[in-house]
Amino acid sequence: MKALFTWFLKHVPRPWLLRFSQWLRPFLDLWYRGQKHLDPINGKSYRSFLPYGYEKTRQNVLSPGTLSLERHRLFWLYLVKETDFFSQTAKVLHLAPEQAFLERFKKLKNLDYITADIESPLADVKADICNLPFENDSFDWVFCNHVLEHIEDDRKALSELFRVMKPNGKAILQVPLDTEREHTYEDFNIKEPSERARVFGQYDHVRIYGLDYLNRLKDAGFDASIISYAQQLTDEERHLYRIPVNEVIPMGVKPR
């Protein structure tokens, strides 16, 4: 089962994979039930999680029930435990919405929840992140997780996200962040998918972010910080949820 799942991940185009996974997920949810690991998003326990990764496969990281990864489970725990997201009235923009959250967020009556993407079949609005079809100062929350590493002009994308946020609005802007790297590396002359995979870690990535990612957020106007939330969990919790200690949450706040 795990080998078949890995094959699909590597060979099926992403939009098709999204549609196929919606059908497959209920079967994976039942097949992998057990007591070893807990997905905090759906509250269910599993004997193991699935492998994930395009070039370097990580074992035991993809939840069978929600298809959440380490970053998604940390993101969920942070929203539940540290914010009023689930109770306070808010308007939310979610770029490239993840299956783990989509239906759950749509059902929250306190939210005016809008999803957008340029190609995802799951999104409500077809939109280019560098030219968003929304008015200034529209959203209390913006979620844009593992999108910017795909965008050549990520600074334009960040300026658009900043523009559509309300003053004091919050943005969670997760990216693959190499905390051992001081400076972001990008080379737009690299076009071949196999070469991008070798250099950047995935066939459709255009950069590797370093610790100077915060500077890009600040240049766009955000009050920016890196929340090392995984470090606030116990060893037992990180093992239970399958979240590595170095997983972080980049946050941008639009000043009043």
DSSP string over 86-152: TTS-EEEEEES--HHHHHHHHT-TTEEEEEEESS-TT-SEE-BTTB-SS-TT-EEEEEE-S-GGG-T
| CATH number for the domain that contains residue 85 | 3.40.50.150
Residues 98 and 42 in one domain: no
Q: Which residues of 159-169 are buried (b: 16+ CB within 10 A; e: fewer)?
A: ebbbbbbbeeb
Residues 29 and 154 in one domain: no
CB atoms within 10 A of CB 92: 19
Rounded mean pLDDT of the chain? 92
- Two structure tokens written together for 79: 């929203």
Residues 125 and 23 in one domain: no
Tell whether the torsion through CA atoms of 124, 65, 41 and 109 is positive or negative: positive
Between CA 125 and CA 214, with CA 141 as vertex, the angle to 5 degrees is 105
Closest CA relative to residue 37, chosen from 3, 56, 65, 9:
65
Q: What are φ and ψ of residue 148, in 5° steps? A: -65, -30
Residues 76 and 27 in one domain: no
- Residue 158: left if φ>0, alpha if ψ -120 to 50, beta else—which one? alpha
pLDDT above 60 (res 11)? no
Q: What is the pLDDT of residue 12?
A: 56
C-alpha distances in angstroms, 60 versus 77, 134, 240?
19, 39, 11
H or E element, residue 169: strand 165-172
pLDDT above 60 (res 70)? yes
Residues 179 and 236 in one domain: yes
pTM given for the model: 0.89
Residues 51 and 79 in one domain: no
Residues 83 and 62 in one domain: no
What would the pLDDT profile of 155-199 be if each residue is shown by its tens digit?
A: 999 999 999 999 999 999 999 999 889 999 999 999 999 999 999
What's the mean pLDDT in 117-139? 95
Residues 88 and 200 in one domain: yes
User: In which band, very low, low, confident or very high, does the pLDDT at 120 lie, cut at 50, 70 and 90?
Assistant: confident
Number of domains in the chain: 2
Q: What is the pLDDT of residue 227?
A: 96
- Two structure tokens written together for 187: 């080379």
Residues 113 and 187 in one domain: yes
State what percent of residues in the chain have pLDDT above 90.
81
What's the mean pLDDT in 107-136? 96
Query: Among the three residues 15, 44, 67, which one is the final residue of a domain in this structure?
Result: 67
- Two structure tokens written together for 116: 């957008």
Residues 113 and 144 in one domain: yes
Query: What CA dihedral angle connects 85, 89, 95 and 97, to 10 degrees?
Result: 60
- For residue 6, give its domain range: 2-67
C-alpha distances in angstroms, 126 versus 120, 122, 172?
8, 10, 21
Residues 61 and 81 in one domain: no
What's the mean pLDDT in 78-88? 98
Residues 7 and 30 in one domain: yes
